[in-house]
Structure 1
Amino acid sequence: MNYRKLLTALIALHLSDFAFAHKVIGISDGDTMTLLVDNKSLKIRLANIDAPEKKQSFGQKSKESLSDICLGTDATYEAQTIDRYGRTVAVVTCNGIEANKEQVKRGFAWVYVKYNKDSTLPALENQARVSRFGLWVENISIPPWEFRKKM
């Protein structure tokens, strides 16, 4: 990690300690949004989860679900790191709802086992699977990390 990215990550982590609310101005997909922070756009990747890709089954539904939860609302976030694309990876709360958990609970995201730091998420994913919510209505669901390997 270069010094600029490290500095950016440290600043983001420091700023996330404060509970400032920022307008959600865009939803890219089921696990990525844009916030307006200090009159600048900030791309946020939801931590601990991975949503279907746009070209993947349920990709659009996952995006719609995250839009339903957050778009146009004020959100707070707890930054965890900066990813290789320069996005802030964070836990985001919109209207008192933690978007990361809600996406898993609704069945529109997988727990991203490789990076997950939230011990409550696997049980939420399992409940969504058992209840056949969201993408779990299909018998065969390919996780996004496997789908991306084929692209």
Structure 2
Amino acid sequence: MPKKSFLLCLFLLCLTVACNRKTDLYKVVGVKDGDTMVLLSPQYQQVTVRLAEVDCPEKSQAFGQAAKQFTSDLCFGKMVKLIVNNNDRYGRTVGWVELEDGTSVNKQLVKNGYAWQYRAYSKSMEMAMLEQQARQSRLGLWQDANPTPPWNFRKGERENRVENKQDKPKKKRTHRKRRRKHLDTVAF
């Protein structure tokens, strides 16, 4: 009987150590913008992470640089926990990022007014309340009288690119083709 107890205790100790290992922690090695960062995995692989359920202003948009700076100040160089939701169409990991003390980066962005709750992908009442409180307190981007949501900003950017592409005249390549033909016919 004592041998079984000893083995059980040893097993539980090993299980506890395995569960508490910090192998699930990633180091934040880059902040691309307010809601996108690069993490270094325990296996030394870089993982680009898009924060779930939030949408920060684009870098070229009002408060875009401030959102990036906020995210950087909050977590750059720190060890974080990654809770993966899925992958997006760009191959990025979409998920929640928490500091070692349990602070959610996603929630802090919304709470401090540097991100919208991304309602197309989030139905969280807590996130909605955090955004509402930031709006009422006029924090971050809510200082602006009429901030443009990033999804509308991106839509406008896409429409401008399409219009600009249609306005540009197409380049003529006839000169190059004639020259190639001429070089093909020259005998050496």
**TM-score exceeds 0.5:** yes
SS at match of 2:49: strand
Give the deviation of 1:31 after TM superposition: 0.3
Mark the structure with the bigger radius of gyration: 2
Letter in 2 for 1:21: L
Alignment match, 1:134: 140
1:148 and 2:148 aligned: no
> Given the alignment, which residue of 51, 65, 73 partners 1:46?
51
Q: Deviations over 1:27-66 (max 9, x none)?
A: 0001000000111110000000000001000000000000
- How far apart are the structure 2 equivalents of 1:97 and 1:130? 22
- How far apart are the structure 2 equivalents of 1:127 and 1:72? 29
Residues 19 and 76 of structure 1, relative CA distance in 2, 3 Å threshold: farther
List runs of 5+ in structure 2 lacking aligned partners.
Answer: 1-21, 158-188
Q: Which has a greater percent of helix? A: 2
> TM-score, structure 1 length as denominator?
0.86
Residues 19 and 111 of structure 1, relative CA distance in 2, 3 Å threshold: farther
SS at match of 2:59: coil
Q: Deviations over 1:86-135 (max 9, x none)?
A: 00000110232100000000000000000014331000000000000000
1:86 and 2:91 aligned: yes
Residue pairs, 1:54-73, within 5 angstroms: 54-73=59-78
**Identical pairs, percent:** 46
List runs of 5+ in structure 1 lacking aligned partners.
Answer: 1-17
SS at match of 2:125: coil
Q: Which has the higher contact order (CA 8 A, sep 6+)?
A: 1
How much is the aligned-residue C-alpha RMSD, in angstroms? Answer: 1.3
- How far apart are the structure 2 equivalents of 1:47 and 1:85? 14
Alignment match, 1:97: 103
